[in-house]
Amino acid sequence: MKRRNFLKLSSGTITLLPFTSSALSSSWFPSSDTMPDWLIQMIKGNDSTIERLLGLQIKDTSNPFFGGLPDAQEIINPHSTCGMILWGTVGFTSHHSKYHQSSAVLESMKQAAVCLNKLQHEDGTIDLLSTNFHSTPDTGFLVKRLVFTYQSLQQSKIEGISDLLEQLKLFLLKAGKAFTVGGIHTPNHRWVVSAALAQLYQLWPDPAYLKRINQWLFEKMDMDEDGQYNEKSTYIYSSLTNRLLILIAKGVNKPELLQYVRRNLDMTAYYVHPNGEVVTDASGRQDKAIIGTMENYYYAYRLLAIKEKNLQYAAMCRLIEKTAGDKIKNQLDYYLNDPEVWKPLPTVGELPVRYVKTFPYSGLVRIRNNNWDSSIIKDNPTWMTFMKNEAVLQGIRLASSFFGKGQFRSNQIEQMGPDEWKLTQTLKGPYYQPLPPELLPDDGDWDKMPRNKRPQTEIQTLTTTVLIRKQENGMQVEVQTEGTERVPIALELIFRSGGIISGAEEVAGIKDTWVLRSGTGKYVFKDTTISFGPGIGKHINTALRGALPHTGSPSVFLTGFTPFNHTITIA
């Protein structure tokens, strides 16, 4: 996963099958002979993770963090330390791992558990050292998976694990007290804490756990009519919330929560690029505009595909397996502790690959025509993308040097017809007259002379309209301006690194920057070509004042002056 190098429903009625608390607590040890080969291979692959963690662990007994593990910045923290326990347990308890019943791994897990308890505050919380301290939700992120570990160890009945179980129980019960009173920051944190409590409730059915879960659930689900959660975080938090709701549904028998998972999974089928990447352009969190595949959704799609014989979900699983590959192992502990997903997928159905779909609450229009797709994004300086197979035009931006505030973004997407959309922006650039005498300060301090109190004159305006049209082989973009004349303007096409650009003129002294003065340009990645044009190049100013900086990705500019009226086709 890496960030792109530029700035920034319906569901058919399905019978709700009850999830009982025993569904999650059923041990996978007695039935390990029925474990599918794909899961066995994941367990074996996890051995390399255990080996790496063993090499990172602090072994100096004089170190106050003995048994802990550092992050990439060499800071000992609960999350890295917890990883030794989580992934060590997978190997330690499995016949398919070379670390099965390894005394060395057991000792390392014990040391990590002791350190984890040292890193836990008396109030039961831990710190996320990059930002959150005494954090209930960050504790929840660990606990919801540590319960898997505790259950697996407990049910394995392997000798010599009592000390490790005792250390884990100490951590989990202290955390449980924190969850019953602790607060949160973001919408998904409610479900993180509730999922952790639901997990704990299966081990120690404390009524206080259930009461707190119900308190959070009483706020109702943060899902819009598109089927998206409040944070619109398609790579990270939407998929996480799906897994959390499944855990809550199982842990405290609330199958009604699965309706939200289904709605999100149904919506997400239209958020997939032809190469299997997920659309992240409209996210409200840190995954905005990152490049990411669909591995985080695999558990939810697989579980409901099998449980409800949903053929489209099964098709999505196959797509994720093909395009995300080994990355689906990130939820290995979920698969191990839920034998229902060990069953074969039902007959694979079809995924939508030809559609025009509007998600008004998410501010997104998705257009797909088999091997190419496009997104139109509201209230975003990057207002359109285009992808054909693996060739990616990862963003189009438009800027003018209008009073240093000419970066185009539209706060609405207006549908003009079945295959046409309009984006608009109106800017004003006033000049300011002397402040009325009665408002003048005695000391001549400029900061005491607010600009909004001054009369405005010579007001300049610039209205920009972008019309976007779907065509059979691609998209057409028309840019029109009205108002102030001779304002420099630049339309910017930002391509993903790795391809070859031809037909455009390189701008001297600026890396990865071209101007398409006329004709048609081409971007070739592997065996796929995206064409764009015709060009226009009236100047080579690609860094207009007030525009966002160059992204570092290959960028082709079309330039001119207002009034500007130009149409290009991307195909």
Torsion over CA of 121, 123, 129 and 131, rounded to 10 degrees?
Answer: -170
Residue 62, amino acid: S
237-282 pLDDT per residue, tens:
999 999 999 999 999 999 999 999 999 999 999 999 999 999 999 9
Is residue 470 over pLDDT 80?
Answer: yes
151-168 tens-digit pLDDT: 999 999 999 999 999 999
Give me the numbers of helices (H) and strands (E) for the chain, helices first please: 13, 22
What distance in Å separates the CA atoms of residue 493 and residue 505, rounded to the nearest whole number? 14
How confident is the model over 471-492, as pLDDT tens digits?
999 999 999 999 999 999 999 9
pLDDT at 139 over 80: yes
Residue type at position 491: L
d(CA 505, CA 175): 61
**3-state DSSP assignment of residue 138:** helix
Q: What is the mean pLDDT of residues 18-29?
A: 39
Q: Which of the two residues, 26 and 146, has the higher pLDDT score? A: 146
Question: Nearest to residue 456, comparing CAs of 431, 427, 428?
Answer: 431
Per-residue pLDDT tens digits for 415-424? 999 999 999 9
Q: Is the pLDDT at 29 greater than 90, yes or no?
A: no
Average pLDDT over residues 510-516: 97
Contact 190, 223 (CB under 8 A): no
Over residues 7-16, the pLDDT tens digits come to 333 333 222 3
Peptide bond into 360 cis (omega under 30): no
Neighbouring residues of 162: CB distance < 8 A, sequence distance ≥ 6: none
Neighbours of 324 (CB within 10 A): 21
Name the residue type at position 69. L
- CA dihedral (471, 477, 478, 482) positive or negative: positive
The pLDDT of residue 32 is: 60
Task: Tell me the pTM.
Answer: 0.92
Taking residue 373's Cβ as centre, other Cβ atoms within 10 Å add up to: 23
DSSP assignments along 151-206, one per residue: HHHHHHT-TT-HHHHHHHHHHHHHHHHHHTT---SSHHHHHHHHHHHHHHHHHS--
Cα 17 off chain centre by: 29
Say how far apart CA 436 and CA 446 lie, in whole Å.
Answer: 14
Please tell me the predicted confidence (pLDDT) of residue 24: 37
DSSP string, 518-570: SS-EEEEETTEEEEEE---BS----S-TTSPPP-SS-EEEEEEESS-EEEEEE
- Nearest of 364, 393, 363, 391 to residue 475 by alpha carbon: 393
Residue 21 has pLDDT above 90, yes or no: no
> All domains of the chain, ordered by start, with CATH?
2-8+19-342 (1.50.10.100), 354-570 (2.70.98)
pLDDT tens for 275-321 read 999 999 999 999 999 999 999 999 999 999 999 999 999 999 999 99
Q: Give the pLDDT of residue 34.
A: 84
Query: For residues 334 and 296, is the Cβ–Cβ distance under 8 A?
Result: no
Share of residues in the chain with pLDDT > 90 (%) = 94
Which pLDDT score, from 0 to 100, does residue 174 have? Answer: 98
Check residue 208 and give its pLDDT.
98
Q: Write the pLDDT tens digit of every residue in 169-220.
A: 999 999 999 999 999 999 999 999 999 999 999 999 999 999 999 999 999 9
Whether the per-residue pLDDT at 118 is higher than 50: the answer is yes
Contact criterion met (CB below 8 Å) for 523 and 499: yes
Tell me what pLDDT residue 348 has.
83
**Strands 555-561 and 513-515, bridge-based pairing:** parallel
The overall average pLDDT reported for the chain is 94
* Helical pair 78-92 and 136-156, crossing angle rounded to 10 deg: 20
